[in-house]
Structure 1
Amino acid sequence: MTVLIVDDAAFVRTVLRNMIQQMGHTVVGEAFNGHDAVRKAKELKPDVITMDIVMPSMDGIEAVKEILKESPNAYILMCTAMGQKRMVIQAIMAGAKDFIVKPFNQDRLEEALIKCKRYLDLIK
């Protein structure tokens, strides 16, 4: 699968990139805020987008809404810190398909990517 990683923290993007690549997936790009994510999602058309919720300029929830206008079947996996339950619910209501909690657990990330693969297989 191809993945676009969206997070304003370079360290978090690096951690996710390493974990995703170790699982055999391809990271096609990285974005540092919601505006960058919308542009890169349109350009790169990844299978899955990992999306931070809290970012400057445009947050993850707004980015989800914008991306889904262009690509209604996009699989967006929200990345959240503990204590952001309300924001996760808003993101799911906006169209995100799943979420993972920071600090990332490799097994949980792998489980989320397997769910994504099943979803993609269903819509093809």
Structure 2
Amino acid sequence: MKKVLIVDDAAFMRLTLKTILEKNGFEVIGEAENGAVGIEKYKELKPDLVTMDITMPEMDGIEALKEIKNIDPKSKVIMISAVGQEANVRKSIVLGAKSFIVKPFKNEHVIKTLTKILAV
């Protein structure tokens, strides 16, 4: 079972993602409400994949992505953020994000994207 860390400042979004993932055979091993907590949980839990929001208090997803890539260059991070963030999409991919999912998303799209990234 693939282990996933969910990083998003919105509790309802973490719950939504957790529900979708667990129904489809993923194990959610941790959640974080901002990038700083996400980095600590990444180091502690060593997930197979991270879903990362971009706009969060304290430390945003772009900064957290950079830090996680410094810690583990092989890390698999998928950015999940709202529409209208094209510049952030490009920046995330350049910094090493494996993919980008736009909110609001379709459940099937999330599962398909995560499955594809984990297969690589």
**How high is the TM-score relative to the length of structure 2?**
0.96
SS at match of 1:21: helix
TM-score computed with the length of structure 1 as normaliser:
0.93
Partner in structure 1 of residue 75 of structure 2: 74
Letter of the structure 1 residue corresponding to residue 42 of structure 2: A
Q: Which residue of 2 aligns with 1:17?
A: 18
Quote the residue 2:97 is aligned against.
96
Structure 1: unaligned runs, 5 residues or longer: 120-124
Map of 1:8 onto structure 2: 9
- Give 1:24 deviation, angstroms: 0.8
Secondary structure in structure 2 of the residue aligned to 1:115 = helix
Task: Give the C-alpha shift of residue 118 in structure 1.
Answer: 1.3
**What is the deviation of 1:25?**
0.5
Equivalent in the alignment of 1:83:
84
CA RMSD of aligned residues (A): 0.7
- 2-structure distance, mates of 1:68, 1:107: 27
Measured after TM superposition, the shift of residue 10 of structure 1 is 0.2
Deviations 1:87-109 (A, max 9, x none): 11111111111011111211111
Number of corresponding residues: 119
Deviation at 1:39, TM superposition (A): 0.4
Q: Is the partner of 1:46 in helix, strand or coil?
A: coil
Corresponding residue SS for 1:73? coil
In the TM superposition, what are the counterparts of 1:55-70 in structure 2 within 5 Å? 55-70=56-71
Runs of 4+ in 1 over 4 A off after TM superposition: none
For residue 79 of structure 1, give the secondary structure of its aligned residue in structure 2.
strand
